[in-house]
Amino acid sequence: MATNRSGAAQRPNGAPQTKVCQFKLVLLGESAVGKSSLVLRFVKGQFHEYQESTIGAAFLTQTVCLDDTTVKFEIWDTAGQERYHSLAPMYYRGAQAAIVVYDITNQDTFGRAKNWVKELQRQASPSIVIALAGNKSDLAAKRMVEFEEAQAYADENGLLFMETSAKTAMNVNDIFLAIANKLPKSEGAGAAGAGGARRLADGEQPRPSSCCK
């Protein structure tokens, strides 16, 4: 249950040619589909059966290493209940990546995921990388959303897609890595990419704004 199966967060000291990029990532989706569990698995390698509901939002960070870059995710884990919808823009505004999560055992949550994708395409920064995660793949026996259906939808909309399981850790790190790979890591992308990317973090700029060589 290592936090980073591939890459590994700890790299040899001072590998001189690594860039460090910071990206803001937001998780969206119906409540109880496993957003917080995915983040918890990714960040701490843990899984709580009775993960409590998220009110407002939670914030966590995790670093992953690609070949020549270190990517630091600033992850906003949002509340799923529709009523908290009005808070969502505060979190996805300026995000460079989003994971829209649904529960493969519940068709309604897939519908809701599609709505989130639409909203992101409309409102979020145009360059945002969106991944679709069909969570709870360990409950395949109760599957209500077919893999092919979701894959087709993802292809149509240019989304990354994986079925994940926060419980068994299947594809959890992979989906974050896939996002990290897809994010533009050239100069000027990263944090500054979208207007207001750092809106929530204006005060904290100890590192160079996006990438440093």
Partner 1 sequence: MYQDNEDDYKFAACTYFAKNHPGETCGSNGLPLTPSSITILGLAQRLLTIEHPNLCTYLDIIRGKHERIIVVAEVVGKSLSDFKSKFTINEVVNIAHQVADALKFLHEQGITHRTLSDDNILVDGEGRVKLFNYGLYYMTGGGNEVSFPLGLPKYLSPETILNGGGPAADVWTFGIILLELCIGKLWQNLKPGPILRRILTLVHANNPAERMAREHDCYDAYKQLPENLRLVIEKCLKIYPRERATFSEIVDDLSQINTSEMAEVKQPRGLMGCKLQYLYHWWQLAGGDIQAELKKNGLIKNSPPILSMPIAILLDGCTIGGKTGALFDCRIAKYSLGLLKSRLSHISAHDYYPLMHERRKQYDAVSLPKIIRERDTEYQFYRLLWFQRLLHGYPYTAPYIRAEAEIDIPPLVRGDVWAALLGVVGDIEEQYERIDKETPTPTDRQIDVDIPRCHQYCWLLCGSAGHRTLKRLLKAWLLMNPQYVYWQGLDSLTAPFLYLNFCNEARAFACLSAFVPKFLHNFFLKDNSMVIKEYLAKFWQMTAFHEPELASHLHEINFVPELFAIPWFLTMFSHVFPLHKIVHLWDALLVEGPSLPLFMGVGILRQLRDTLLESGFNECILLFSDLPEIDIGECVKESIDMCRSSPRSISYRRFTNEARTKEPMDMVEIPMEMLFAEICPRISLSDFFSLICQDKSCVIDIRSNLLYEKSCIEGSINVPYSGVHLGQHELRALGLNPQRVLKEAMKVKKTIVVASAEDETAQLFSDYLVKCSVPRVCIFHGGISAVQTHLPSLFTTPAPPNKNGNK
Binding site for partner 1 (CB under 8 A): 31-32, 49-61, 74, 79-81, 83-84, 86-87, 90, 105, 136, 138-139, 142, 167, 200-204, 206
DSSP 200: G
Which is nearer to partner 1, 12 or 203 (by Cβ)? Answer: 203
State in angstroms the smallest separation of the CB of 67 from partner 1. 25
State in angstroms the smallest separation of the CB of 124 from partner 1. 19
133: how many CB neighbours lie within 10 A of its CB?
32
| Alpha carbons 178 and 36: distance in angstroms, whole number | 19
| Alpha carbons 212 and 210: distance in angstroms, whole number | 7
Which is nearer to partner 1, 67 or 204 (by Cβ)? Answer: 204
3-state secondary structure 121-150: HHHCCCCCEEEEEEECHHHHHHCCCCHHHH
Which is nearer to partner 1, 49 or 67 (by Cβ)? Answer: 49
State in angstroms the smallest separation of the CB of 77 from partner 1. 8
CB 146, CB 172: distance < 8 Å: no
State in angstroms the smallest separation of the CB of 29 from partner 1. 12
